[in-house]
Amino acid sequence: MIDEREIRTFVYGTTQYFEVAAQQAASLGSPYLATQGAPEVHEYTGVITVSGRRQGIVYFTAPRGMLTVLLMKMNESNVSHENLCDLVGEVANTISGNARRDFGNQFAISVPTVVSGASSSVQPPTDCRPVVIPIHWRSHSAKLVVCLK
Amino acid sequence: MPDFTQSASRPIRLLIVDDSNIMRRRIERSQQIRHLQVVGSASDGQEAIEVFRATDPDVVTMDITMPHMDGIECVEKLVQLKPDVLILIVSALADKATAVEAMEKGANGFLNKPFSDRQLNEALEELLGLATAT
């Protein structure tokens, strides 16, 4: 069973990025449990792997349009594929940093990896149901997926 | 510690170390400290040492999580090369233990990612001892 405090830490790490780096807050949609396997990913995904007291993955997945506007809001004019990968990695890095602060040595949290491509396979553990938290920012929507057992 | 409050005639030399290209560019673009001049950038600890030797910076912004050599190890090596260099850690690792370890190795300040332009400039001003002089 996922602890609400854990979810809150991951959510805060994500929304904090928009609020501080782009000076424009993101809002949350209603969280839900994925019913059929891994939730679909957008074009860019930053993944952190968790081990220790909990095991699994946490990922932030966002469409190109959202990341492009986020980069532009950060006054970055180069919206190349490399910079979009960089950005989704930085968001995941912030999620990871917050989790390390809040959970300390209960969890071992990996350095983020970045996956690009809407059809990329980001595979949560098969024996747990991912919690999906929609993240809305301007006219765009992304997802934070927490799958820990 | 060097005194930068009277450095009107001489630029203060800044090296930016971060594995993220957008972060390196962001720091360069956002810093607005008078006389602070970016003299180089590096994407990992090993490259940072090479660029440091070539450019002799006064100030370094340093990420922690990087390939090849992380920021903590790099801080230790840079301080050995130039004991009075000022190092600002700029990292998403928000836990106290990481900050303490970096300070013990010789870092002088800590700024959490993500940061606003104002937070970056305030951290640099504080690092340079300019917080009340500007």
Structure ipTM:
0.85
Q: Cβ–Cβ of A100/B115 closer than 8 Å?
A: no
Beta strands in B53-121 (DSSP E): 59-62, 86-91, 109-112
Q: Dump pLDDT digits (tens) for B16-74.
A: 999 999 999 999 999 988 889 999 999 999 999 999 999 999 999 999 988 888 999 99
Looking at the partner chain, which of A16, A20, A82 has a beta carbon nearest the beta carbon of B21?
Answer: A82
**Structure tokens of B16?**
């930016």
Q: Is A117 left (phi over 0), alpha (psi -120 to 50) or beta?
A: left
DSSP notation for A66-121: HHHHHHHHTT-----HHHHHHHHHHHHHHHHHHHHHHHGGGEEEPPPEEEESTT--
* Cβ density class B92-106: b for 16+ within 10 Å, e for less: bbbbeebbebbeebb
Q: pLDDT truncated to tens, each residue of chain A (149 aa)?
A: 667 888 898 999 899 999 999 999 999 999 999 887 788 899 999 999 998 888 899 999 999 999 999 999 999 999 999 999 999 999 999 998 888 888 877 778 888 899 998 766 688 888 888 999 999 999 999 999 999 88
Could you tell me if A6 and A55 are in contact, meaning their C-beta atoms sit under 8 angstroms apart? no
Query: Rounded to whole angstroms, how far apart are CA atoms A118 and B96?
Result: 37
The residue of A87, A90, A113 whose CB has the most chain B CBs within 10 angstroms, and thus the best one to mutate to test that interface, is: A90
Q: How many CB atoms lie within 10 A of CB A130?
A: 24
Contact B95 A100 (CB under 8 A): yes
Does residue B81 belong to the interface with chain A, where contact is any CB pair within 8 Å? no
Cβ neighbours of A86 in B, within 8 Å: 20-23
Q: Hey, is the C-beta of B108 within 8 angstroms of any chain A C-beta?
A: no
Contact state of B114 with A16 under an 8 Å Cβ cutoff: yes
> How far apart, in whole angstroms, are the C-alpha atoms of residue A8 and residue A22?
21
Nearest to B92 among A82, A83, A96 (CB): A96
* Whether A94 and B92 lie within 8 Å, measured CB to CB: yes
pLDDT band, very low/low/confident/very high, at B5 (cuts 50, 70, 90): low
